[in-house]
Amino acid sequence: MIISVLIGLTIIAQAWLIVAVVDNVFLQGASFQEVLPELAGVMLALGARSILQYVNNLTGIRLAADVKQEFRTDILRHFRSSPVRAAGEGQSGGRISLALDAVDELEPYFRHYYVVMMQSSLVPLIVLGAVFYMNWVSGLILLVTAPFVPIMMAVIGRNTERKSEEQMEKLNRFAGTFLDLLRGLTTLRLFNQAGKQAAVIEADSNAYRDATMTVLKVAFLSALMLEFISMLSISLVALEVGLRMVVYDQLSFFTAFFVLILAPEFFASLKEMGSAFHSGRGSMGAAERIYEELDSGSETAARGDLERKGPPAFTFRSVTFDYGESRFALGPLDLTVNAGEHAAVIGPSGSGKSTLLHLFSGLYEAGEGTVGVDGRAIQEYEQEQWYADMAYVTQHPYLFAGTFRDNLRLGSPDASDEEVERAAAWAGLTPLMQEMPEGLDTVIGEGGRGISGGEKQRTALARAYLKQPSLLLYDEPTTGLDIETERILQRAMNELSERATVITVAHRLHTIREADRIFLMEEGALEAQGRHEELRQSSRNYQNMLEVQQGGAGR
């Protein structure tokens, strides 16, 4: 606000000094030396105005950078609060577009709109006050014509916001479709659908182009109308001061020239306001998308600050979970897993095995009921410590772009090089390390060496070995593996299980015969539970699964 007031005062000083120079030289007959102080004042006013404007713009740039950083942090924290659900719903390309493109669309608001609206709210008032002081008739003309600018801003701004929302929607669709099709390019080629999907990309790209051109068209129309209004208003002021100075001899040259210099400055500030208003309304579509995502909530409740050590014991009491509009619902479930036990979850596809595993891990929050850990609700434990003491091995472990060593250290960033190498050897990765041109420092992932499915599984085991967790979760880890990798996995699982509570989701029943507890899931409900021999005698569904996998032997 102070900078805006100072900018307004420098505009008045600049206009006053310019008029003084012209009046003294051309009407008063002053020499060049006599007007040197006024010329120096003009230069000083111009310099001060430039510096103040630079500071004002720099403030907007820094404000925009800080706000963008804060929004991106909030978005990433929001996605992180429920990573499994966030990764399973919608398009990942759309989330990337939200965190990058949508946040960038907010920059004009904080860099231009916010700062300019502050400046344009004060500078015109200061200029108008100076004009009224010198010639109240000209001030009245400015006062009457000025409201047409905000009226036009409101009319065009409403349309701009709507078009901007359409543009952001098309950008979101285009980004999501493009990234998802790129990931599935191999599948598209195998099914001979690559050409058809290329046409889809072209159509989405053209739709986004058309939406962008529509927004630009509105922007050009806004600028044209503001120029027309300001030109007409300045013409009225020029006509008024000209008639009163030449015809009626009511104004001096000094007053008339001073008013004529300030009138364009008055409308220049208003035009900047109009341009800023257009930019601000254009950012509203992106802002609504961001706030809609941030306000959507997450499945993971706020965590407490309790810490725990050793293998955990679980107690589920009337636990339920559902996916909103999806017809699938889990529970109510009542079950117990003692500390240090190996529990297995089995059942047909879609029965809720993985969902139950996510409830054990704390990635999902129960809709109703309580997931208890060592006699306390799981939400009461400190989140960072909880996940630091847990290892999760899935069918398809994710490897990030970077060195192989960094991927092994993912859950144990403080592990030494010797510990990393020992874990890699323990997980059977020695042949892979020998094949890599730079050993563990070889870049893998995007732009680097490819890793097979079995090698990814062994990498996940090495990560778990480095953490030495007290809670181990396996999500069908042996599915699709070769015999050697499955043997290494079984040996590793047995060793890691000696000091941890283990929860395993399995399809192959021979891998969980020795489990302390087996939970048989059926359509989201707990159909039966017990040890292998108990279920073989008491559960017909368990017997059917054994017969299918053993070729009818049933034992």
Each domain of the chain, given as residue ranges in start order, spans 2-294, 304-389+469-555, 402-465
**pLDDT confidence band for 130 (50 / 70 / 90):** very high
Q: What is the pTM of this model?
A: 0.60
The CA-atom distances, in angstroms, between 51 and each of 57, 72, 79, 125, 390 are: 10, 32, 42, 21, 57
Distance CA 41, CA 35 (A): 10
The contacts found for 64-71 with CB under 8 angstroms, 24 or more apart, are: 64/106, 64/107, 64/109, 64/110, 64/111, 67/106, 67/110, 68/103, 68/104, 68/106, 68/107, 68/110, 71/103, 71/106, 71/290
Helices (H), 416-539: 417-426, 430-435, 453-467, 483-496, 532-538
Confidence (pLDDT) at 153: 65
CATH match for 304-389+469-555 among 3.40.50.300, 1.25.40.10, 2.60.120.10, 3.20.20.60: 3.40.50.300
Tell whether the model's pLDDT for residue 212 goes beyond 50.
Answer: yes
Distance CA 447, CA 95 (A): 22
Residue 144: CA count within 13 A, CB half-sphere: 11
| Alpha-carbon distances, residue 361 vs 391, 452, 474, 475, 515 (angstroms) | 9, 27, 11, 11, 19
**Which pLDDT value is given to residue 83?**
47
Lowest-pLDDT choice from 292-296, 322-326, 373-377, 391-395? 322-326
CATH class of 2-294: mainly alpha
Band (pLDDT 50/70/90 cuts) for residue 299 is very low
Mean pLDDT computed over 73-100:
64
Contacts (Cβ under 8 Å, ≥6 apart) of 1:
118, 122
Strands (E), 128-203: none
SS (H, E, C) 39-69: HHHHHHHHHHHHHHHHHHHHHHHHHHHHHHH
Asked if 215 and 163 count as a contact pair (C-beta separation under 8 A), the reply is yes
pLDDT above 90 covers a percentage of the chain that reads 23
Q: Mind listing the pLDDT tens digit for each residue in 137-162?
A: 999 998 888 877 767 666 665 666 56
HSE, CB side, 13 Å, CA atoms: give it for residue 30: 16
Average pLDDT in the chain: 82
Q: Which of 50-59, 77-86, 382-391, 516-525 has the lowest mean pLDDT?
A: 77-86
